[in-house]
Structure 1
Amino acid sequence: MRPLSASNLLEIWERGLGKTPLEQALVILAVAFPQAAWDTLAKLTIEQRDTTLFHLREQTFGSQLKGLADCPACGEKLELTFTANDLRSMGLLPNPTLSLPDTNQAGALLRRKGYEIHFRLPTSADLLNIERLAEVELAHRHLLEACIISARHRKNAVPFSELPSPITQAIIEQIGQSAALANLTIESTCPDCGQQWKIVFDVVSYFWSEINAWAMRMMREIHVIASSYGWSEADILAMSAWRRQRYLELIGD
């Protein structure tokens, strides 16, 4: 897996502006893997998607991740720092691969109280299908129903609508256990007041915020260098970050 180039990052930024986080994640993957069809990328499980985004981000911006959080008790700002290797040491993030994960899901099996449920993990395509549903509970039910491949009770087929609540809840819990990155939380303690709480970390929002900040800065650099030397955007983007910075310093002299 290669890092995203400067031109890749600007393309992602331009195509992703105004899109939902779900769509922005797919835009990042589409630019990183131009040989893959959009529908194929949308069939990655959310866990596969987030794992791939973590790897892309690490290759592009480095292993360390930093963020700020406000203490819910006293409002003190805390700086949070961790690395991709921290996640690997906890068994949450596998080592990078050269290609996209396989989108063909074998699925998983839940056996409980005479029920045998064959289900798969949710994908971006599933989330896109429920994105416009205003009622949260209805959206959750549609999502869960889409993930169930087959349901039987004592070898007899059972429609989703007739599955008892304890069974559907067990499926939800098992799906959650298989999506560690999608449910990644960071335990934090405020050094001022001692308050402890958990912060949900979303790799899509984090990666997009980095791309947005990088693109805004890069557009400014391109403007300054092009105004001084008359070079094209493509020529400036093809330069290393070190060379661009050197030209900016010369312009400022």
Structure 2
Amino acid sequence: MWERGCSLTAAGRALVLAESGGADRGTAGDLPLGRRDAILLSLHESWFGERLRCSVTCPSCQGRLETEVSTVDLRVPAGTGGPVTAAGVELDVRPVSTADLLAAADRRALLVRCVRSARKGERAVPPSELPEEALDAVAAALPDLDPQADVSLGMSCASCEHEWGAPFDIAGYLWAVLDAHARRLLYEIHELATAYGWTEREVLSVGPARRRFYLEAART
């Protein structure tokens, strides 16, 4: 899974992770981002536990802050949808999906994809012809429509007392943890193969505790 995701974009990696978490491979890309991210939170719990260590930069003094959050704290209630009206146009809007992120070339294209239908009075308006004012209203409606896709951590800087909401991306976070885990394992394979002449398969057949022992023995 790690090898497959290395050559992909961030959205592609998130899709690989969601499929590993049980999302159907044929339809995972069409899931709202919030539903996808809920799957990734469960995947983190399964692989690495409920606790997530985070490091953020204060936008005021540029100091580094360390914090720890729980996957439980990162889950938010489902959103509420409804028609969006702007520039005299009534819009039927859906949440953003991973497929949208992969397909859209820019912000406008992304927002247009999220409009199921648009009507001005009795006349249907093609989403591609919507004015910027209408698309800005679509963008403003998305956090309420799919709040799990727009999670922020409430932060307070001890140095300058600045308070702000730091966006949290579970897909990026989980991939970073997985990437570090995979690379550490590859270095262990390299070290043990060099020290003992084992093949990759032979190294991986040894449990983690025994592998640590052999690594320590090889380094003495």
Does residue 24 of the first structure (1) align with residue 13 of the second (2)? yes
Q: TM-score, normalised by structure 1?
A: 0.73
Match of 1:110 in 2: 83
Give the AA of the match of 1:118: D
Matches within 5 A, 1:221-236: 221-236=188-203
Whether the aligned pair in 1 keeps the contact of 2:81 and 2:144 (CA below 8 Å) is no
CA distance in 2, matches of 1:162, 1:13: 40
- Structure 2 counterpart of 1:142: 109
The equivalent residue for 2:4 is 15
| Greater shift in the superposed pair: 214-223 or 67-76 | 67-76
Distance between the aligned counterparts of 1:226 and 1:161, measured in 2?
Answer: 57
Are the aligned partners of 2:21 and 2:39 in contact in 1 as well (CA < 8 Å)? Answer: no
Residue in structure 2 matched with residue 104 of structure 1 by the alignment: none
Q: What is the one-letter code of the residue matched to 2:83?
A: L
**Distance (Å, rounded) in 2 between the aligned partners of 1:151 and 1:81:** 43
Work out the CA distance in 1 between the residues paired with 2:168 and 2:2.
Answer: 21
Query: What residue in structure 2 maps to residue 123 of structure 1?
Result: 97
**Post-superposition CA distance 1:162-206 (Å, at most 9, x none):** 656665444333322133232211121111221222211111221
RMSD of aligned residue pairs (Cα, Å) = 2.8
Matching residue of 2:43: 56
**3-state SS of the aligned residue for 1:210?**
helix
Q: CA deviation at 1:75?
A: 2.9
CA 1:108–1:150: 2 relative to 1, 3 Å: farther
CA distance in structure 2 between the aligned counterparts of 1:250 and 1:36, rounded to whole angstroms: 44
Q: Matched residues in 2 for 1:191 and 1:108: separation?
A: 38
Letter in structure 2 aligned against 1:200:
P
Query: Please, what TM-score do these two structures have when normalized by structure 2?
Result: 0.83
Q: Residue deviations 1:40-73, cap 9 Å, x none?
A: 2211221122111121122111111112222233
Question: Is 1:214 aligned with 2:185?
Answer: no
Among 185, 194, 198, the residue aligned to 2:152: 185
Q: Superposed, which structure 2 residues align to 1:37-48 within 5 Å?
A: 37=25, 39-48=26-35
Count of paired positions: 218
How far is the alpha carbon of 1:87 from its aligned partner? Answer: 2.4
Contact kept, 8 Å, 1:115 with 1:151, in 2: the verdict is: yes
Structure 1 residue 32: Cα displacement? 4.7
